[in-house]
Structure 1
Amino acid sequence: MSDVIVIGAGPAGLAGAIACAENGLRVTVLDEFIKPGGRLLGQLHQEPSGEWWNGIKEAERLHQEAIKLAVDIRCGVSVYNLEKEDQLMNVHTNAGTFTARFVLAATGAAEYPIPVPGWTLPGVMSIGAAQVMTNVHRVQVGKKGIIIGANILAFAILNELQLAGINVDRIILPEKSPLSQKAGEPEEVMKSLLYAAHLAPSPLLRFGSRLMKQDWFRKLGMKFYPKNGVKINGTPMQLRKAALEIIGKDQVEGVRVVDIDVNGTIIPGTEKIYEADFVCIAGGLYPLAEIAAVAGCPFQYIPELGGHVPCHSETMETPLEGLFVAGNITGIESGKIAMAQGTIAGLAIAKAAGKGTNQSLQQAVQNVRIVREKAAIQFNPEIDKGRMKMKELWEEQYADCKKAYKIG
């Protein structure tokens, strides 16, 4: 029997497994994909320093380091339930039940779907799927595409598609609706993108990003936003156009688009069809935290972290004794931050098992703050505010009574 079971072989899970194993704990890592690495496998971007972040190489480095420490990594294993029994955690999977004293849930994030009429046609995919097909499976998703949804994830993956020689014709918004919410409102989209100006080599976004964070200047900027959009590495981002329908008979053939005003309201008589053979829908990310929920871990809704997240401390423990969390399950951030959080969780587990030191754990907590400050990609601009909310919640409700917490 292992001392620790890690659910998820992404950056947080592998880093956590390594930290546990370095402190003498027996670790088993479970992941439903065919190989370890998680979202790292699709990542490829240039850092502000000029260095390239190659997720595949980083995943391989973590994998090899874990193997050297005798970490048992089992891929193709799907976890469907997690329950606490006395002092042990039972992890139920399609390969049987695994039992350990500690569990690290590092299940990552999933993409928000934005329903668009015609989205079941072959050739329509999420922006994350396009990233995996391109960078992991080396499959060309198409020759000429359109991205529906303008957000930081779309920015990052647009660059990766372009590096692979794939032509992305334009980025437009989804039609404003209760389902698309703020993703269909040009001003709200612009507000979020201003924090990603460094990812978009656009003079307008770079020069105006500070000024446009002021409401009055942003409203003025949206009023005079260029009709043909602002180019990002040659691809126009058209915040005043929305997708009404993806069209095609047997596969994607184009997108029916309409002009919209600054509030996302359709301007009648402006419909036009743009040809494309693939469409990527970019709805953003949310924490994939169901496994912590079924275990009975309490949650808190914190928009700055990306949605509902399991309650946790700075050292990644939850009120459910024996359960720790790390990575995007705790809030949407970059792969580097997920790795730093995984290290914290691993060291916290080692300390709880009587094998780690408080000094190394506190150093890891400080390191994640440093990594966050230097992060090239911030999916949620008010992440620090969200982290502070969670810290205050933990200190108010769980710090003194964690071990007495009872399910139900």
Structure 2
Amino acid sequence: MSVIKKELVVIGGGPSGMSAAIEAAKRGVKVLVVDANEKAGGQLFKQIHKFFGSRAHGAGVRGIDIGKKLLKEAEDLHVEVWLNSVAIGLFDNKQIAVETGTDEKNKTVRIVEAEKIVIACGASENVVRFKGWTLPGVMGAGAAQTMVNVNRVLPGKRILMIGSGNVGLIVSYQLMQAGADVVALVEAAPKIGGYAVHAAKIARAGVPIYTRHTVLEARGEGRVKEATICEVDNKWQPVPGSEKTFEVDAIAIAAGLKPLVELAAMGGCKTKFDPILGGWAPIHDRNMESTCRGIYVVGDLTGVEEANTALEEGRLAGVAVAESIGKLAPEEAAKLKSETWERLNGLRSGPHGEARMKAKERQIETFQELTGVSQ
């Protein structure tokens, strides 16, 4: 089997991957993006809501429009993109096995050897296991969001949402915009986990939010027909007599995300467990370079955050790759990286981001301890 050689291969065409590809391509790096989907852009094309924050981070702009802008910029820079392509292997010599195609009979595997690699494969949804959780109609909130915002299909008409983080709150509102009835939102913690502005929108629409509650059981023949929730005590155990039953035809679970660390681990990148970041995540330095030199890790793979932080981490890696290949002067690279870190620190400031900032600092400190390299 012949080996295809590339300067930079980006695995994952979401916000962090595309921004890394663009920043590197701007400096003349030849870039290949490998993405498993029919269209690059990742989570951005599910995000029909307007972004918050500063003008520098797309405040007032919808995620889908940011995604379109990224794809146009990548196209103008002649970034090569392989769609319907999955990286199924990553080896010590920076060779990547990529399976391409949608038809099982016509799928092919190609070997790509990269001078530099950026892994941006994102995160997967956590599940909540309860009696009846395998019934059709029980799904992750991300799956429900994909159905309604990308495929224009309602996952159900009466939906119970589990989890009050920003994903649960935002997807609930988007489901209502599409015509679904969100019968209730259930949160096991004593208070709502996401931004108050999102919670207020669904509360104003009449959706009851049950904190200190969890789902007890889903029932139905062939698919979910009803769900029972109950209150939990201080030890997270069900409180007898507190059960409430709802007629539903879908249950969406927004119980957080965990980094898709398997490919990075396969390539030999050291990982560390941190619950703030969603679990196991690759250790990296301030350039987003992993413990495997020449392999960079960005976005939700390095710890679950928001789209804007993913975009900035991608920019960091793209600049660092261009510098390491010799297509960007160290002085200019240092300036660009300093500006990007300033924006990242701004995004992570405040009560919701401070814990993540400290977790990221711990990752960088661990990198320095393991490698003896400080920056």
Per-residue deviation at 1:28? Answer: 0.6
Q: Any conservation in 1 of the 2:348–2:357 contact (CA below 8 Å)?
A: no
Aligned mates of 1:48, 1:300 — CA distance in 2: 30
Aligned mates of 2:349, 2:156 — CA distance in 1: 28
Letter in 1 for 2:366: L
Q: Structure 1's 252 and 369: CA in aligned 2 closer, same or farther, altered over 3 A?
A: farther
Aligned mates of 1:11, 1:160 — CA distance in 2: 21
The two structures, once aligned, show a CA RMSD in angstroms of 2.5
Residues 94-123 of structure 1: per-residue CA shift (max 9 Å, x gap): 131111111100111111111122122221
Letter in 2 for 1:103: I
3-state SS of paired residue (1:78): strand
1:172 aligns with 2:176: no
3-state SS of paired residue (1:199): helix
Q: Structure 1's 388 and 75: CA in aligned 2 closer, same or farther, altered over 3 A?
A: same
Per-residue deviation at 1:298? Answer: 0.7
Q: Structure 1's 378 and 98: CA in aligned 2 closer, same or farther, altered over 3 A?
A: farther
Letter in 1 for 2:196: A
Q: Structure 1's 313 and 232: CA in aligned 2 closer, same or farther, altered over 3 A?
A: farther
Q: Structure 1's 270 and 57: CA in aligned 2 closer, same or farther, altered over 3 A?
A: same
Question: Match for residue 11 of structure 1?
Answer: 15
Residues 119-148 of structure 1: per-residue CA shift (max 9 Å, x gap): 222211100101111111111111111012
Question: Match for residue 370 of structure 2?
Answer: 397
What is the aligned counterpart of 2:297 among 302, 325, 342? Answer: 325
3-state SS of paired residue (1:235): coil
Q: Structure 1's 378 and 338: CA in aligned 2 closer, same or farther, altered over 3 A?
A: farther
Per-residue deviation at 1:388? Answer: 1.4
Q: Any conservation in 2 of the 1:27–1:71 contact (CA below 8 Å)?
A: yes
Q: Structure 1's 91 and 135: CA in aligned 2 closer, same or farther, altered over 3 A?
A: same
Q: Structure 1's 324 and 259: CA in aligned 2 closer, same or farther, altered over 3 A?
A: closer
Q: TM-score, normalised by structure 2?
A: 0.88
3-state SS of paired residue (1:142): coil
Per-residue deviation at 1:361? Answer: 3.1
Aligned mates of 2:275, 2:338 — CA distance in 1: 23
Greater alpha carbon shift after TM alignment, 370-379 vs 257-266:
370-379
Q: Taking every aligned residue pair, what percent have the same amino acid on both sides?
A: 31
Aligned mates of 1:358, 1:162 — CA distance in 2: 50
Q: Structure 1's 171 and 376: CA in aligned 2 closer, same or farther, altered over 3 A?
A: farther
Aligned mates of 2:244, 2:116 — CA distance in 1: 56
Work out the number of aligned pairs and report it.
Answer: 357
Residues 139-158 of structure 1 aligned to structure 2 (within 5 Å): 139-158=153-172
Aligned mates of 2:348, 2:356 — CA distance in 1: 11
Letter in 1 for 2:96: V
What is the aligned counterpart of 1:22 among 18, 22, 26? Answer: 26
Question: Match for residue 285 of structure 2?
Answer: 313
Letter in 2 for 1:11: P
Gaps of 5+ in 2: 100-108
Q: Structure 1's 134 and 247: CA in aligned 2 closer, same or farther, altered over 3 A?
A: same
Per-residue deviation at 1:372? Answer: 4.9
3-state SS of paired residue (2:145): helix
What is the aligned counterpart of 1:63 among 67, 71, 75? Answer: 71
Letter in 1 for 2:278: G
What is the aligned counterpart of 1:119 among 130, 133, 157? Answer: 133
Per-residue deviation at 1:316? Answer: 0.8
Question: Match for residue 367 of structure 1?
Answer: 340
1:253 aligns with 2:225: yes
Question: Match for residue 77 of structure 1?
Answer: 85
What is the aligned counterpart of 1:134 among 148, 157, 160? Answer: 148
Letter in 2 for 1:90: Q
3-state SS of paired residue (2:269): coil
Q: TM-score, normalised by structure 1?
A: 0.81
Q: Any conservation in 2 of the 1:16–1:342 contact (CA below 8 Å)?
A: yes
Aligned mates of 1:239, 1:364 — CA distance in 2: 41
Per-residue deviation at 1:371? Answer: 4.4
Aligned mates of 1:232, 1:359 — CA distance in 2: 52
Letter in 2 for 1:201: A
1:286 aligns with 2:291: no
Q: Structure 1's 373 and 339: CA in aligned 2 closer, same or farther, altered over 3 A?
A: same
Aligned mates of 2:133, 2:204 — CA distance in 1: 25
Q: Any conservation in 1 of the 2:309–2:347 contact (CA below 8 Å)?
A: no
Question: Match for residue 93 of structure 1?
Answer: 98
What is the aligned counterpart of 1:338 among 287, 303, 310? Answer: 310
Per-residue deviation at 1:167? Answer: 1.5
Greater alpha carbon shift after TM alignment, 260-269 vs 374-383:
374-383
Letter in 2 for 1:122: P
Q: Structure 1's 49 and 338: CA in aligned 2 closer, same or farther, altered over 3 A?
A: closer
3-state SS of paired residue (2:276): helix
Per-residue deviation at 1:368? Answer: 4.1
Q: Structure 1's 126 and 305: CA in aligned 2 closer, same or farther, altered over 3 A?
A: same
3-state SS of paired residue (1:81): strand
Aligned mates of 1:31, 1:305 — CA distance in 2: 23
Q: Structure 1's 378 and 277: CA in aligned 2 closer, same or farther, altered over 3 A?
A: farther
Aligned mates of 1:231, 1:401 — CA distance in 2: 48
